[in-house]
Amino acid sequence: MKPQVMTALGPIAVEDMGVTSSHEHLLLGMPGWEYDASYTYDRRAVADKCIAQVKEAQKYGLQTLVDATPMDLSRDPELYKMVQGETGLNVICATGLYTEPEGNSAFWRLLAKYRGYDEALKRLTNAYMTDVSKGMHGSDVKCGVLKIATGKGAIAPIEELSIHAACLTQKELGTPIISHTAEASMGPATARMLLEKGADPKKTMIGHMCDTDELDCVIECLKMGFYVGLDRFGLNMIFTDDNKCVNLVKLVQMGYGDRILIGHDATIHNHVIDLIPDEIMATMTNWNLCGLFRAFIPRFKELGLTDAQVSKLMLDNPQRFFAGA
Ligand SMILES: [Zn+2]
């Protein structure tokens, strides 16, 4: 059988993914948003907001999006089905835990503390496997990717537990793993930990590695055989977009062009409020699903990439990654 990838509306052939953005969020909510009494979640309104942006990006050829939202940053399977159903965009959903400081992992920390690492690992792996093989939050929306996350300067115990659970799930079910690093910090350490715990680098991506000028760290991950995510184009409040473009072109020209996945890490709707202040948002006009097409891909070409090199980033590489080739 041809390799398949799971979307919100069921499996598709990997070869049908088409142009793919490898790390985005239709919806995001930092833990605690649900207690803000001044806000009510209107799924229909949020779906319309997502659909409007998706339709814009489809004009440029976008066909598939990886929604990298882990279980503790507020997923909505009904929303994913609506967006995919009403636009035809393939939405690949994620399971996993966010970082220890900013996620919602108290239960898992306490479980590991009182019942031991092995028990917590067994149950977290079961949670990930359930999301992949049965569906998230009791729905029939199955996850097509595992999301791990590491904080700044250290890999916290719960982050290690989650990496371990993701590796066991990958071994059992073959699911690809993507990662969040905090400004690329801990990228190589995460890669080494993934290898120790049995991850397949051909199906594993170390994310947000565009947020640094230290290309040695990026290359270290690539040399271990991992994909790297240069997946925050437009989010220039952390690292400048121009440096990201220059570094991407350098890496491609050094011969790593078949191991790079790109995206914006855009959030179309953030529960309650947009957390980023308006004056900063005003400077990030390309932080949306169209940014790569409108601003950054033209810039890659100005800096010397060929059409064939560009086409690998959003067409060939995501397919090879999801096929594990
Ligand atoms: Zn993200």
Q: What are the tens digits of pLDDT across the range 116-155?
A: 999 999 999 999 999 999 999 999 999 999 999 999 999 9
Alpha helices in the chain (DSSP H): 43-59, 77-87, 106-115, 117-133, 157-173, 187-196, 215-223, 241-251, 278-281, 291, 297-302, 307-311, 317-323
Tell me the sheet residues that pair with 76: none
Ligand 1 centroid distance, CA of 36 (Å):
22
The pLDDT value given to residue 126: 98
Nearest residue to 149 via CA among 200, 115, 105, 197: 105
Percent of the chain residues past pLDDT 70, beyond the cut: 99
Ligand 1 centroid distance, CA of 271 (Å):
15
The pLDDT value given to residue 274: 67
Ligand 1 centroid distance, CA of 264 (Å):
8
The pLDDT value given to residue 281: 84
Tell me the average pLDDT of the chain: 96
Ligand 1 centroid distance, CA of 312 (Å):
22
Regions of the chain short of the pLDDT cut 50? none
Nearest residue to 261 via CA among 305, 316, 298, 219: 316
The pLDDT value given to residue 65: 98
Nearest residue to 203 via CA among 172, 176, 223, 171: 176
Ligand 1 centroid distance, CA of 190 (Å):
17
The pLDDT value given to residue 44: 98
Helix (H, G, I), strand (E, B) or coil at 222: helix
Query: What CA–CA distance (Å, rounded) separates 120 from 91?
Result: 30
Residues within 5 Å of ion ligand 1 by Cβ?
A: 68, 265
Ligand 1 centroid distance, CA of 114 (Å):
31
pTM of the predicted model as reported, rounded to 2 decimal places: 0.97
Side-chain half-sphere CA neighbours of 284 within 13 A? 22
Sheet holding 90-92, edge to edge: 90-92, 62-67, 19-28, 267-270
**Is CATH 3.40.50.300 the classification given to domain 4-323?**
no
Ligand 1 centroid distance, CA of 230 (Å):
12
* Whole-number Cα distances in Å, 175 to 167, 200, 283, 325: 9, 10, 37, 13
Mutual angle of helices 157-173 and 106-115, in 10-degree steps = 90
Asked whether the beta carbons of 76 and 43 are under 8 A apart, the reply is: yes
Ligand 1 centroid distance, CA of 28 (Å):
9
Query: What CA–CA distance (Å, rounded) separates 321 from 201?
Result: 9
- Residue spans of the domains in the chain: they are 4-323
At residue 161, what is the residue type? L
Query: What CA–CA distance (Å, rounded) separates 4 from 15?
Result: 8
The pLDDT value given to residue 183: 86
Asked whether the beta carbons of 231 and 22 are under 8 A apart, the reply is: yes
* Whole-number Cα distances in Å, 245 to 57, 99, 115, 178: 20, 27, 47, 21
* Whole-number Cα distances in Å, 63 to 54, 105, 272: 9, 33, 29
Cβ-based burial of 37 (10 A; exposed 0-12, middle 13-18, buried ≥19):
exposed
Ligand 1 centroid distance, CA of 188 (Å):
19
Ligand 1 centroid distance, CA of 247 (Å):
20
Alpha helices in 184-315 (DSSP H): 187-196, 215-223, 241-251, 278-281, 291, 297-302, 307-311
Tell me the sheet residues that pair with 24: 67
